[in-house]
A and B are shown apart, each in its own frame.
Chain A
Amino acid sequence: MSVVVALQNISFSYGQSQILDGISLEISRGEVLSLLGPSGSGKSTLLRIIMGFAAPDSGLVRLRGDVVSDSGRVYTPPEERNLAVVLQDLALWPHLTVEENLSFGLQSKHVARDEQKTRIARVLAEVDLENLARRYPAQLSGGEQQRVAIARALVLEPDAVLLDEPMSNLDIGLRDDLLDLFTSLFKQHGSTVIHVTHDPREAQRLGDNVAVMDRGHIVFTGNLEDLDPKHESQFVQLVCRHFR
């Protein structure tokens, strides 16, 4: 399988704090990778670097083989990376309707109007929101807003979808429903996904693979069931206790 996102020895610091220290990762087409880590482990920063909102201090970011960022430089701006993002607070534009939220990215990519309509109708049907297209985000429930956010990402047919803890503010029941929906949607679309979370169960359930981050390092990659309870990382030990 071809590699969509490749990170090579990424480091990033903020003032005196080393946020990321020599991170290397590869995400293949169709793979769902969960980045699991505690608060402050650098996982959201890594996502921002992949998106192009920040440049690494050192290291390379490649998308489909092309170098898009390296030491202190962003060569390809975010809008030209063909990635889609779902942020923690969803960031649905409040002045645009559901339909307009979805069409914004398509218009930016100069997708033909008919094609836009077709894609929006299809994705809204997939997330069961076809009747709410004319609503504004404030007129939707929390779960509906989540579905709009994922629909907005998928409608672009991006090379990869980046999820930055989009379910952290939801109750357990709703989170389970959405995890099912997300899993089936990603399978259906063959999406490449990087999913950031601090919840081991969510990471394991959504991800084909899980990369565990702690203090700016990747300390484990694979299936969480294979975690070593005697690992030197306290976070890994904690995950083991909870997970088993």
Chain B
Amino acid sequence: MVEFLTSDDWLSLIDSTLGTARAWTLLARTIGLALAITAVALIIGIPRGVLLGKTAGMGLPIALLVHAFPLFMPPFLVALGWFHLFGQQGALGSENSSQLFFGPTGLVGTLGFAFSPVVTGLTVLGLRGIDPSLEEAARSVAPPVRVITRILIPLMWPVIALAALIVFALSISEIGVPMFLRVKTYAAAVFTRLGGIDYAPGEAFALVLPLLGIALLLLLIERRFIGRRSFTSMGIRSAQGSIFHLGRWRAPASAVVWIICGLGFIPIAALGLKAGVSGFSGLNRWLGDSLINSLLVASIGATGITVLGIIIGHRLARRKRGSSFLDGVTVLAFVTPAAVLGVGLVATWNHPATQFVYATAAIMVVGMIARYSVIGVRTIAAVLSSSSPGYEDVASAFGGGYLRRMSRIIVPMHARGIFVAWLIAAVFCLRDLEMVVVFYPAGYETLPIRIFTLEANGPEDVVAALSIIHAGLTAVLLALGGFLLRTRRRA
């Protein structure tokens, strides 16, 4: 950005791009779409979170795990799955469904549903973080619905606000789905100027300026209204609030939740059907090193995020000086539209002296750490803030220095929570498309990029098979993580 602003022609570039009504109209339209996506995610996510977190429905603990899975897929793949159902040639498709799908309605529906697990998950965590006595005092005088709407939801508003902020930030960053559904958005406009027939990197730099303004606004909202309230609201309590018994509504309510949770798997099933045997048999030719690249970048990136998370998250949980600023930086990086972050990384690292980073997979690792470090910081801060600082104080009194306290006390004591942070970070690195697509070096394509680039001209069955491989990879990673967590808990 600094490089752009110090160049000679930046004023004329700003004038030619941002001086037109077209750019601002597109920005307003993109913000409108992101708000609509956020609203849909909240409408689906909050009631589902309340049902999953507060009721004794049938199999709801499993539904809680199932519902989150689509979030761990690049939304572009989910859209691809829906396309094989509702596209003109799709199993349930018609001209009308196709028209609806390839437009703002399809975009809002696809992304709203894909991001709704963010809201659901945080709602469940928020409900668990509420002091059970506040709930019981309300339950003694009011029916469940009133307790939920007047007491529980207002008490966890910082968590819901955080969920809305995350969904809005993810929506405004999204490139893959709008481009696939042929809906013009601002982030996609920036991306197209970094490659292809619209190649104009100078214009891309100019276009990211308003997005940077949005990122700062989001940061301001987060700092002012949410901040540390969100992760203290998500603190882990030893005593949990009561569960609402649904009585005669138990079976229908459970069925509705299961249907909504199961809907997330429909596009994945559609991709599986599309892939068929032919898709999988042709995989060797198309897969290349993308699978290895994805795993490598995700695991190294997640490890870097976790290390940063331990350092900053610990300071944040213990309210050390400067921690709020560092936390703010990680939040800013996350809420900054991915295209802006991508453009910034290009400007920073695309120099002859730094080609060892820019021209290798290292640039993707750097990008992942920059964008997703907030996951490590906030998750680990939430975990550490639920434990007494006394353990560290005693260790310190017994002569343990910082490194020794961290390595012998903090990390082993909270190993499960730290591993969860690593796992979430790894899954987010694995699914990233919208940022790395801006700068991935030749020969280092990750799996989502491979699928995205093949989608336009590659065989449909192979693209579907690659998408299933991605879903499988994520599922295996989560299952392995879950297994390790269970083993450690038993130990």
Contacts and interface: CB of A to CB of B under 8 A. Distances in A.
B151 A85 contact: no
Interface in B137-184: 137-143, 146, 150-151, 154-155
Contacts of A88: 133
B155 A84 contact: no
Contacts of B136: 51, 53, 78, 85, 87, 91
A85 B137 CA distance: 7
A104 B140 contact: no
B134 interface: yes
B143 A79 contact: yes
A102 B342 CA distance: 53
B131 interface: yes
B143 A104 contact: no
A108 B142 contact: yes
A19 to B, nearest CB: 15
A156 B141 CA distance: 9
A64 B242 CA distance: 25
A127 interface: no
Nearest to B142: A108
- Of B137, B151, B242, B245, most A-chain CB atoms within 10 Å: B137
A95 B242 contact: no
Given A85-B136, A87-B133, A87-B136, A95 B143 contact: no
A94 B155 contact: yes
Interface string A58-96: 000000000000000010011101011101111111110
A113 interface: no
A83 B134 contact: no
Contacts of B143: 77, 79, 108
A84 B154 contact: no
Contacts of B141: 79, 84, 104-105, 108-109, 156
A93 B142 contact: no
A53 B139 contact: yes
Given A74-B245, A79-B142, A93-B155, 17 more contacts: A51-B136, A53-B136, A77-B139, A78-B140, A84-B140, A85-B137, A85-B140, A87-B133, A90-B133, A91-B134, A93-B138, A94-B155, A95-B154, A104-B142, A105-B142, A108-B143, A109-B141
Nearest to A164: B133
Contacts of B242: 53
Interface residues of B, number: 18
Contact of B137 (A77, A93, A109): A93
Interface in B110-151: 131, 133-134, 136-143, 146, 150-151
Contacts of B134: 91, 93-94
12 contacts: A51-B136, A74-B245, A77-B245, A78-B139, A85-B140, A87-B136, A87-B137, A88-B133, A91-B134, A93-B137, A93-B138, A108-B142
Contact of B133 (A78, A91, A104, A105): A91
Contacts of A81: 140
B412 to A, nearest CB: 28
Contacts of B151: 93, 104
Main SS class of interface, A: loop
Nearest to A156: B141
Nearest to B135: A91
Contacts of A90: 133
Main SS class of interface, B: helix
A232 to B, nearest CB: 33
Nearest to B150: A104
A109 B143 CA distance: 10
B140 A79 contact: yes
B443 to A, nearest CB: 55
A209 B245 CA distance: 35
Contact of B138 (A74, A83, A104, A156): A104
A109 B138 CA distance: 12
B414 to A, nearest CB: 26
Contacts of A109: 141
Given A74-B245, A104-B150, A91 B131 contact: yes
- Which 3 residue pairs of A and B lie closest in terms of their CB atoms, listed nearest first? A105-B141, A108-B142, A91-B137
A78 B243 CA distance: 12
Contacts of B138: 93, 104
B422 to A, nearest CB: 33
A133 B450 CA distance: 63
Contact of A89 (B131, B150, B245): B131
Contacts of A85: 136-137, 140
A83 B140 contact: yes
B154 to A, nearest CB: 5
A21 B352 CA distance: 80
B158 to A, nearest CB: 11
A39 to B, nearest CB: 15
Nearest to B242: A53
Contacts of A87: 133, 136-137
A94 B135 CA distance: 12
Interface string B179-194: 0000000000000000
Nearest to A81: B140
- Of A79, A89, A105, most B-chain CB atoms within 10 Å: A79
A12 to B, nearest CB: 16
A237 B346 CA distance: 79
- Of A77, A88, A94, most B-chain CB atoms within 10 Å: A77
A53 B154 CA distance: 22
Interface in B203-254: 242, 245
A109 B141 CA distance: 8
Contacts of A104: 138, 141-142, 150-151
Nearest to B244: A77
A85 B151 CA distance: 16
B155 A95 contact: yes
A74 B138 CA distance: 18
Nearest to B241: A53
A83 B146 CA distance: 17
B2 to A, nearest CB: 44
A91 B134 CA distance: 5
A156 B137 CA distance: 13
Contacts of A92: 137
Contacts of A108: 141-143, 146
A125 to B, nearest CB: 21
A210 B139 CA distance: 28
Nearest to B133: A91
Contacts of B245: 74, 77
Nearest to A82: B141
